[in-house]
Structure formats: structure tokens, C-alpha cells
Amino acid sequence: MPVKHPSSSKFRILLMSIMTVLFVGIMTSLPASALELGGGYTIRTYASPDPDSVNSHFIETPGGVIVISAQRTFSEANRAIARVERIGKPVIAIVIPVPHTDHFGGLTRWKDAWPDADILAAEATITSMRTDGEGYIASRKDALRDDFPSQAEVLAALPNIVVTDGQEIDVDGLSMRFHDLPSNNAPTNTMVELPDHDVLFASEVVEDGITLFLKDADLDVWLDQLDALEADLADYRVFYPAHGSPGAPGPLIAAAKAHLEFYRDGIDAALADDGIVDERETADLVARIEAAYPDHAQVARLLRSDLIAANIGWQTERRSAE
């Protein structure tokens, strides 16, 4: 029989469970190492604790700080803000790179601390924040209560600058080139390139080391995006992903491609004989993905297998419709 797709209520329970696990997570974080770019520009990263760690990147400029990603919760935003306050300069711009709550749930706190900061995002991200069409904001609010904004608070801190694919914006003398790419780990992902410094903030387009979220992904489109990055930016100095450690582009891109190909090839192989991915085939592929990526443990093991199974279901539906 065809694989069952998770109902929205089951998915909501899954998300709430993930958030609960997050809440009781061990309080650890990656060390914040600084990368001096010269000319008065320095990059630092704050990573919230595992499981389900999310990065905020800080670009110190001569006159301020540019923040990429605002954290998931008020408490994590407060920790990230404390790191920025040590720099001793005001936040002048905040980029929201992904229309998922782990990247804007804490935005209210940043806005409280620096009301004059510009907030930049793609149109699709702003629309998602404004309408909560997927119900993500509502479900996170249920789970996180006072540590997460209401929809009204999200509306009060919406981005004020829309960025588009290919656009270049100068912030305090720093040239930032935006790349808005659809159908990957989210409906859209906004990457920020610093072309004068050979640095890319790769958002969730280039990442390994976490369990993927393939609800909105087109694996072929996403793999094409990675091929284009490999062709264009493989000689860059460093990529900073939205989750996980920064690193050299080559290995990060290779790992991201291998992860997607594992899903794609497994699903296509299961579809090849009879056009369906049955329960046994799904269970087999979940087990193989978990065995191949034992370190992808930011969410509890049972929940991770549920998410992988959901990924297979979403992608089976998409690929069998092609």
C-alpha cells in the first residue's frame, strides 16, 4: 500500500514534541571564534544549545553589527544579544534568512534592544511571518508559551526591507549580495554573500549535520542549487550555515549533496519497481539514513526517525507526481 503522509495534526504534535525536547536540552554551545576580514569587519557566531541548535551570525562593521538570524526563542535571543553587547556597537541590520520560526521567534527582543535596526528578508519570508499560513507560529506559541512571540508581536517586528535574488545592498561600507533560492529546506532560503571577502552565509541551502526538513523541498532543484554554488563559489574562504559549524565550501557542499542524493536515490529506487514506497521500504530507508548519519541527533532518536519518515512521504508524493 502507498505510504501514509502525516496529517497536519500529527505533524503539529511532532513539532511540539521537538520543541519540548529542545526545552530540556543540555545547555552547551559552540565556541564563538572570530574571523577577521580586514577593513574593520569581523564575523562571529552564536549557536544555541543542542538539540536543534540554530546559529546567529554577527558581522561587526566599523559602526555597528549586522545580525543574520534572530534565534528561535526570547531566552536564546537574550543570550545572543548579550554576546553582541560585548562587542559594544549597535545592531544596525538584521537579516531573517528562512521563513521558519527558529530564525525569527526571538526577533522581538532584538527590536526591543535596537529599535532603529533595519530588518531585511525576502518577500516570501515576510508573507509567511505575516500570515502564518502553515500554522508554525501558532504551534510554537502553544509549546513555548512566554518564551515565544504572539502573532501580534511577530506583526509588530516585521522586516521593513524586502531583498530580492541578486540584489546588492551596502551596509556601513560592506557589500552584501542576496541570493533567494526556493524549494530547499524551506519554501525559500536567503543566502548572504560578501563578495569582497569571499564569504557566504549559506542559510539552510548548504548544510549537513542536521536532520533535513523536506516538506517544501524539490530535491532536483536543490541539488542544482548546490551544483551552481560548487561551480561559482567553491574557492570561497568560508561558508556559514544556518545550523552547524562553518567550514570550507568544498566539503560542506559535497556533504550536503550526498545527503540529498541519499534520499533521492533511495526514494527513486523504491518507486522504480511498482510506483509506490510501501511501509517496509520506508522503514528500510529510514534505517539506512539513520545508520549513514548517526551524528544527526539534534532531535531525539524516535522523533528523528519520525521526521525522516515524513521526509520520505513528502518526497515520495512529489517525485511520483513528476
What angle, 0 to 180 degrees and rounded to 10, lies between the N-to-C axes of helices 219-233 and 301-321?
A: 100
Return the beta strands (E) in the chain as ranges. Answer: 35-38, 41-47, 55-60, 65-68, 91-95, 118-122, 161-163, 168-171, 174-182, 188-194, 199-203, 238-241
Q: Which residue is nearest to Zn ion (CB)?
A: 102
45-48 long-range CB contacts below 8 Å, 24 or more apart?
Answer: 45/240, 45/246, 46/79, 46/80, 46/83, 48/72, 48/76, 48/79, 48/80
Residue closer to Zn ion, measured from CB, 44 or 243: 243
- Considering the complex, what minimum distance in angstroms separates the CB of residue 298 from Zn ion? 11
- Considering the complex, what minimum distance in angstroms separates the CB of residue 4 from Zn ion? 26
Question: Is the CA virtual torsion 33, 36, 37, 39 positive or negative?
Answer: positive
* Residues paired with 43 in a beta bridge: 35, 59
Q: Under rule CB under 5 A, how many of the chain's residues touch Zn ion?
A: 1
Q: What is the rounded distance in angstroms from the CA atom of residue 244 to the CA atom of residue 247?
A: 9
- Considering the complex, what minimum distance in angstroms separates the CB of residue 68 from Zn ion? 12
- Considering the complex, what minimum distance in angstroms separates the CB of residue 111 from Zn ion? 20
Q: What is the DSSP letter of 229?
A: H
Residue closer to Zn ion, measured from CB, 37 or 121: 121
Q: What is the rounded distance in angstroms from the CA atom of residue 285 to the CA atom of residue 263?
A: 8
User: If binding is defined by CB under 5 A, does position 132 make contact with Zn ion?
Assistant: no
Let me know how long the chain is. 322
- Considering the complex, what minimum distance in angstroms separates the CB of residue 218 from Zn ion? 18
Residue closer to Zn ion, measured from CB, 52 or 281: 52
What angle, 0 to 180 degrees and rounded to 10, lies between the N-to-C axes of helices 136-144 and 8-23?
A: 40
- Considering the complex, what minimum distance in angstroms separates the CB of residue 115 from Zn ion? 26
Binding mask 93-122 for Zn ion (x = CB under 5 A): ---------x--------------------
Residue closer to Zn ion, measured from CB, 138 or 287: 138
- Considering the complex, what minimum distance in angstroms separates the CB of residue 207 from Zn ion? 9
Residue closer to Zn ion, measured from CB, 97 or 266: 97
Residue closer to Zn ion, measured from CB, 37 or 186: 186
Residue closer to Zn ion, measured from CB, 234 or 255: 255
Q: What is the DSSP letter of 295?
A: T
**Where does this chain bind Zn ion (CB under 5 A)?**
102
